[in-house]
Chain A
Amino acid sequence: MAELPQKIEVSCPECGQTQRESENFISTVCRGCGAYFKSSRAPMNARKKVKRAGIKKRELTCADCGAVQMVADEAQSSSCLECGRHLELGHRVIDGEHLGNLVLEGELTIGPKGNFGGSKARAARIVLQGRANGFLQAAEWLRVEGQAHLRSGASGEVLEVRPGASLESKDTLLFRSGQIDGELRCRTAQFSGPLKVGSTGKIIAEQIVFSELTVDEGGRIHSQGEVRMAAEPVLAQAILPANGEITST
């Protein structure tokens, strides 16, 4: 009786999912993502195609015009197909003095001894442990992890001040939302969305503006405050039964 071909485990070059195939298989379709791929035992020209199909790509949004294009995962730079702007895709760490402006699509880290001395730095994500004389703009988030100082303010999507960290800003902070678990000292901080102060968070400011605010037990705020931006009404639910007694004095 003839032996049945043995099964081998193969992985999809697109999504990495593994599946079992006959050891003699020439090509197959991934049961995870549906990608068609060939066996590594296939002829040489076919193998090249499989390799090219395996290049991982990611979406890249131009910080200037907002156009979206696909770039290779490993690419360090590209040019916007719409506006032609040079896009630096890698990450940057500033451990000393940095003069000049910065525009990154990746992550910018300003280390504990780092100082950004340019007038403006823009990155998708910014980790701030040191100082910045110039304005910082974080498309996704600005995370404060050390004892940080800002001279010209910052803006972006999310401001996070981690537990044990502190941020002192001499100018306005403009963010969509904030999660404050460390200490924030500033003149004005504006959040167009929710602001949350955790149990280890503290805000000392001249003014904070928000659309909603949550302060956990242990969290502290000393500031003038103001709610701005109308939101959808929320149904009221009583926190206690209506069984009280009122006496006029």
Chain B
Amino acid sequence: MAGHGLQIFGDVRLEQDGVIRAKVKGNVHASGKLVVAKEAEISGAVSGVDIRLEGKVDAGLQGRGRVWLVAQSVLRTRCAAKVLRIEPGADFRGELRIGDSLDG
């Protein structure tokens, strides 16, 4: 359980669908669907299948399925996905690679 005030130093691996609410000094990898909640701050990269970003990710995000950046979310460096939705009010700056084969 990762809630308010929790900081994780190191990479995080989720074996199933999950929600990150912590500050993570490292990368986050999810085998399934992932929500990066609005209080979450991740200094590394995030990867998963379907990813919903409400918080902040510094080093890029790679979804093998759908990626959704909601309003107030912050993403830097890179965004790769099969299907993408960036809502008005989201803050993104970086490389966009959408629709490429991301399975390999």
Is the pairing of A and B real?
yes
A interface with B by C-beta (< 8 Å): 194, 197, 202, 208, 210-227, 229-234, 236, 238-249
Determine whether the beta carbon of B88 is less than 8 Å from that of A220.
no
A221, A232, A238, A242: the one contacting B97 at CB < 8 Å is A221
Within residues 55 to 104 of chain B, which ones have a CB less than 8 A from any CB in chain A? 66, 68, 70-72, 79, 81-100
Complex Cα distance, B34 from A176, in Å, reads 33
A213, A227, A244: the one contacting B85 at CB < 8 Å is A213
Determine whether the beta carbon of B70 is less than 8 Å from that of A240.
no
A227, A242, A245, A248: the one contacting B35 at CB < 8 Å is A242
Determine whether the beta carbon of B86 is less than 8 Å from that of A227.
yes
Q: Does more than half of chain B's interface fall in helix, strand or loop, or is it mixed?
A: strand
Q: Given contacts A219-B99, A242-B19, could you give 17 more A-B pairs where the C-beta distance is less than 8 Å?
A: A213-B85, A221-B96, A221-B99, A222-B96, A222-B97, A225-B79, A225-B93, A227-B90, A238-B52, A240-B19, A240-B33, A244-B32, A245-B14, A245-B15, A246-B2, A247-B14, A249-B11
Instruction: Count residues of B near A (Cβ-Cβ below 8 Å).
Output: 50
Complex Cα distance, B42 from A193, in Å, reads 29
Complex Cα distance, B32 from A229, in Å, reads 32
